[in-house]
Structure 1
Amino acid sequence: MEYTDSYNYGDILEVLSNQTKEEPSHVELHPQHCREAACVITVIFNVIIFLLGLTGNGAVIWITGFKMKKSVNTTWYLSLALSDFIFCTTLPFTMDYIVKNSWNFGLFMCKFTAFVMTLNMYSSIFILVIISVDRCITVKFPVWAQNQRTVQKASLVVVLAWLVSSLLSIPSAKFRETKNATTVICYNNFEGHHKTVVFTRFTFGFLIPFLTIFTCYSILIRKLRANQMSKSTKPYKIMTLLIATFFICWLPFQIVSVLELHKHEHDPVFHTAQKVSASLACANSFLNPFLYAFMAKDLKKKCYSFLSKIESAIDEETRSAFRATSITNSVDIRLSTTV
């Protein structure tokens, strides 16, 4: 039986709680309180993520879901915020596990929290890929986009993204188990499928999305430079920051995840790298809504009018998309007339 607190997103709570890597039958854990500095800092960090994540993503969900007019762009950002919001709701279980060094929520919640965390990873990156592809299509094929780009189709794409994310997240729940030792642990029993799980996650959760986004951005930049059709760069800055933040938060996690296959459990430097990259991965879930709010020139005004600025940033992206499409149509029509 392959027992490990191996480093996938569903195991962030296990990495942060510093569980032992011994075989469950030989585990001898002792109840303890969170007294060490590293443990206290980790709990405080998770509390910050929890509070800011719920507040920020909740604001985006409220604005894009109920206050703003439905559009393709609001559909994308609503889904992204919903993914991060759901993840943040699972953090209290993580914090309890860290503080008490014991899993007190049963087998179902052990599996469910791992599933939700992995679902957040996949759905977030898939939505960012969709945003990039959508922007690329809007600029490259403006006439087609104007006729075919509808809220209904965008909603269908989001549903498919969540479905695929759910399917890819099933292994995180399947291989999750609990064990009653001196304390209860929530751990992975990969049953010989450890490498398959890691490389599947790396391929579909990082490599393919990265190549897709890179390709879309290359096409987008060339097209924009050729036509010089975008007067406002803010929407593209927002997209760039969202995507850059995701990769900054997740690249260390993916690297450490692959390196973990070589069994560095006795290396204190590697264990520190696990904790740092896990914290970065968690942090991504509360950063996105604040990126919307802090894009303006006057940071103080943004802080005072946080909700309205989130709406303004997203709404400007929508207007820019239609403005870019309109200008491109005019350019294409003039070129056709000339020919």
Structure 2
Amino acid sequence: MENFNYEDFYNYTYEEVLMPHEASVFEHKSSCPGNVLCVSLLVINAVQFVLGFCGNALVIWISGFKMKKTVNTTWYLSLAISDFVFCTFLPFIIINMAMEKWIFGFFLCKFTSSVLFLNMFSSIFLLVIISIDRCVSVIFPVWSQNHRTVRKASLLVVLAWVLAIGLSLPSAVFRDVQSQMGRSICYNNYTSPQTHKIIAMSRFVAGFVVPFVVISICYSVIILKLRMNRMTKSSKPFKVMTALIATFFICWLPYHVFILLEINHQHFSQDVLKAGQQIGTTLVAANSFLNPVLYVFMGNDFKQSCKSSLMSKMENAMGDEGRTISRYLSRSSSVDAKLSTHI
């Protein structure tokens, strides 16, 4: 989203922006068709849009309408909705990258950028909630069984979305559209370098560092608990969530790195920053289409997944994690009959 020439578009005054009659003198021609990297990223993003849109729509349909409503399906449904919304707006990013100008107007400039960060924060907050949920379920199985309900899960999902919307507001405030050299540019019109630094650092800390620490602690505790009880022969309880979390951080780390480098843009090549942010944005889009793929194929091994129907594969991927943890909890507590097969 923030893949524009920072030095050219960062701190414009009104007088520095070309007026319409001045801009008409210039005819902007996109350099993307002759750029191998740009064309490659366009093709990748187009494929990701198709796979992400269809895949997340399928997850929403099955987890929302075809499966029994449980805590697990509540988590996955919300994640799929977040990714689906992002994929819906991905064509705006693709067209902007191809044309190297913004043609969709002032409102969509602000709204499309906000959707990117809404997806980032809502996804990571949900992953944090799920990790804490798994940790509590393993350490306190009886308490978890008595207090873990769909209603409470839904409330946590709403809270995560509210916080994500709040942290996405700076994009709606600071994104702007201006004309320069015969083209419209959707860019970040920060009021000062300090404002830019504060926003970039707050996104990195709230959307990356703190969640990574919390998730790492939760899974370390879970693994330690299972090893102490010598119940780690099966890795099924962690396959889906571990893959989802690893994919999220791998896809988002390059984006954050280049956004942080942009704070001191004078020390780096503008071409490198632009290319890095385009690649980072492409990896972000990859996270949204990889999630439904992981839902389908992480429940059982690949051969078994191929033999089953599409719906069965997705139901198994979502439900297998809960069933396997429940079997462990049943063996490690004295209340076998009270534990559900879906936690």
Give the TM-score of the pair, scaled to structure 1.
0.87
Asked if 1 retains the 8 angstrom alpha-carbon contact of 2:305 and 2:313, the reply is: no
Letter in 2 for 1:235: P
Q: Distance in 1 between matches of 2:304 and 2:197?
A: 48
**Distance across 2 between alignment mates of 1:249 and 1:320:** 28
Q: Cα–Cα, structure 1 residues 104 and 276, in superposed 2: closer, same or farther, change >3 Å?
A: closer
- 1:4-23 correspondence runs (5 A): 11=1, 14-15=2-3, 19=5, 21-23=7-9
Find the aligned partners of 2:308 and 2:38 in 1 and give their Cα distance. 33
Do structure 1's residue 31 and structure 2's residue 31 form an aligned pair?
no
> Are residues 1:218 and 2:224 paired?
no
Task: Please tell me whether residue 187 in structure 1 is matched to residue 187 in structure 2.
Answer: yes
Change (3 A) 1:194 1:272: same
Amino acid at match of 2:325: A
Counting matched residue pairs gives: 319
Shift of 1:271: 3.8
Unaligned residue ranges in structure 1 (runs of 5+) = 1-10, 333-339
**2:306 maps to which of 296, 302, 305:** 302
Aligned positions of 1:171-182 closer than 5 A:
171-181=170-180, 182=182
Looking at structure 1, the residues matched to 246 and 206 of structure 2 have their Cα atoms a distance apart, in angstroms, of 18
Contact 1:138 1:145 survives alignment (8 Å): yes
Kept after mapping to 1: 8 A contact 2:59/2:80: yes
2:339 alignment counterpart: none
Corresponding letter in the other structure for 1:198: A
Map of 1:8-87 to 2, 5 A cutoff?
11=1, 14-15=2-3, 19=5, 21-23=7-9, 25=16, 30-33=27-30, 34-36=32-34, 37-87=36-86
Q: Which amino acid aligns with 2:330?
A: S
Q: Is the 8 A contact 1:229 1:327 kept in 2?
A: no
**Cα deviation, residue 265, structure 1:** 5.2
2:243 pairs with 1:278: no
- 1:319 counterpart = 2:316: no
- Partner Cα separation in structure 2 for residue 260 and residue 306 of structure 1: 43
Aligned-residue CA RMSD (Å): 2.3
Query: In the alignment, does 2:122 pair up with 1:132?
Result: no
- Number of the residue aligned with 1:7: none
Per the TM alignment, residue 225 of structure 1 is displaced from its structure 2 partner at its CA by 1.1
The CA distance in 2 between the partners of 1:299 and 1:143, in whole Å, is 36
Q: Match for residue 158 of structure 2?
A: 159
Matched AA of 1:185: I
Whichever residue aligns with residue 245 of structure 2, its letter is: I
* Residues 110, 172 of structure 2: 8 Å contact kept: yes
- Describe the superposition over 1:252-293 as per-residue Cα deviations: whole angstroms up to 9, x where unpaired: 222222122111453544443333222212211111111122
Give me the whole-angstrom Cα distance separating, in 1, the residues matched to 2:108 and 2:273. Answer: 28
| Residues 230 and 320 in structure 1, CA contact (< 8 A), matched pair in contact too | no
Give deviations 1:151-186, integer Å, cap 9, x for gaps: 000000000000000000000111001113311111
Letter in 2 for 1:246: F
State the alpha-carbon separation in 2 of the partners of residues 35 and 330 from structure 1.
Answer: 66
Deviates more, 1:113-122 or 1:269-278: 269-278
Q: Deviations over 1:174-219 (max 9, x none)?
A: 1001113311111111112101101100110011101100110111
SS of the aligned residue for 2:225 comes to helix
Query: Residue 265 of structure 1 contacts residue 271 of structure 1 at CA under 8 Å; is this kept in 2?
Result: no
Residue 254 (structure 1) aligned to one of 238, 253, 256: 256
Deviation of 1:35 after TM superposition, in Å, equals 1.2
With normalisation by structure 2, the TM-score equals 0.86
Go from structure 1 to structure 2 and tell me whether the alpha carbon gap of 1:272 and 1:124 turns closer, same or farther (over 3 Å shift): same
Partner SS for 1:187: strand
What is the rounded CA distance, in whole Å, between the counterparts of 1:282 and 1:86 in structure 2? 11
- Rounded to whole Å, the distance in 2 between the matches of 1:30 and 1:208 is 46
Counterpart contact for 2:6–2:262, Cα < 8 Å: no
Aligned to 2:201: 199
Q: Give secondary structure in 2 for the equivalent of 1:90.
A: helix
| Contact 1:146–1:325 (Cα < 8 Å) also in 2 | no
Q: Counterpart in 1 of 2:292?
A: 289
Residue-by-residue CA offset, 1:288-309 (whole Å, 9 max, x unaligned)? 1111222332348538733321
Gaps of 5+ in 2: 337-343
Q: Deviations over 1:2-48 (max 9, x none)?
A: xxxxxxxxx2xx51xx5574145357774324412222222211111
State the distance in 2 between where 1:32 and 1:83 align: 35
**Alpha-carbon separation, structure 1, partners of 2:166 and 2:120:** 13
SS in 1 for 2:334: helix
